[in-house]
Amino acid sequence: MQILGDPLYHLRLLGRMGHTVGADLVQAFEAGKIDNETWTQMITNCRGCPYPQKCHAWLDATEQAAAPPSGCCNAESLHQLRDAAKKDLGK
């Protein structure tokens, strides 16, 4: 059984990752693009990652990026949220 990382640390890490790749999780939640269950699952995915220190270092060195680093377990969700936000801006 894998031990999950600290929930608050990973919530912050996920928020930073979203910001870096252009996927605002708070805005997505407020707009109804994600619900509590989806957000919780994304945090749990992050908590289960065996390499959060690599992610943290990547975020420290990266202001903006088109995609999360290779291996990010939330990459697909972040891409979808980013693309939905871009589409909404184009309306």
pLDDT tens for the 91 residues of the chain, in order: 678 999 999 999 999 999 999 999 999 999 999 999 999 999 999 999 998 999 999 999 999 999 999 999 999 999 999 998 888 777 5
The reported pLDDT for the residue numbered 1 is: 63
Contact (CB, 8 A) for 44 and 4? yes
What residue segments make up the domains of the chain, in order of their start?
7-89
Class of residue 2 by CB neighbours under 10 A (exposed 0-12, middle 13-18, buried 19+): exposed
Kindly report the pTM of this predicted structure: 0.90
The reported pLDDT for the residue numbered 28 is: 93
The reported pLDDT for the residue numbered 43 is: 97
Question: Can you read off the two tokens belonging to residue 36?
Answer: 């509590």
The reported pLDDT for the residue numbered 87 is: 84
